[in-house]
Amino acid sequence: MRALLEAGANTDTATQGGSSILHQAARQGHADVVRALLEAGADKEAADQDGWHPLHSAARQGHANVVRVLLGVGVNQDVATRDGWRPAARRGHADVLREMLEAGANMDVSDRCGSSLLNQQTSNLHIYGWLRTQTCII
């Protein structure tokens, strides 16, 4: 990958649906590839045709290491997809949620149905228990 990037490969090449190389690396949990793409200038906020950003892809799959890399370069962690899905919201990945909250995710941002991050997580009891231990969250 580094050799391709050093040779000037286009970091924002995407599929017909708009899924970039960064989306794919994030979805598959390749933190080193994500880091290399970002260092080479890949668009950290690239959205596919459904409004999915690389952060959504990593968060949905539970790749906290990739989420950490993306948050480290300042991605918008409260951005929603076209259907209102937010990165830390629905899958019950406690480590991803922890990364998001520690980076300042807004607990009050709601999806298009009016459900906040906290509302969504109460159905994931292992996460709800952790949330209860956090200052000023519940």
How do residues 101-138 score in pLDDT, each as one tens digit?
A: 888 877 776 666 666 666 655 555 455 555 555 544 44
The CATH number of 2-132, from 1.10.3720.10, 1.10.760.10, 1.25.40.20, 2.40.40.20, is 1.25.40.20
Q: Report pLDDT for 138.
A: 42
Q: Report pLDDT for 114.
A: 67
Euclidean distance between CA atoms 112 and 23, whole angstroms? 23
Provide the residue-wise pLDDT of the chain in tens; the chain has 138 residues: 666 656 566 767 777 888 899 999 999 999 999 999 999 999 999 999 999 999 999 988 999 999 999 999 999 988 878 777 777 655 667 788 888 888 887 777 666 666 666 665 555 545 555 555 554 444
Q: Note the helical H segments in the chain.
A: 2-6, 21-28, 31-39, 54-61, 64-72, 94-102, 117-121, 125-132
Euclidean distance between CA atoms 26 and 37, whole angstroms? 10
Q: At what angle do helices 94-102 and 125-132 cross, to 10 degrees?
A: 30
Structure tokens at 9: 């490969």
The pTM of the full predicted model, rounded to 2 decimals, is 0.78
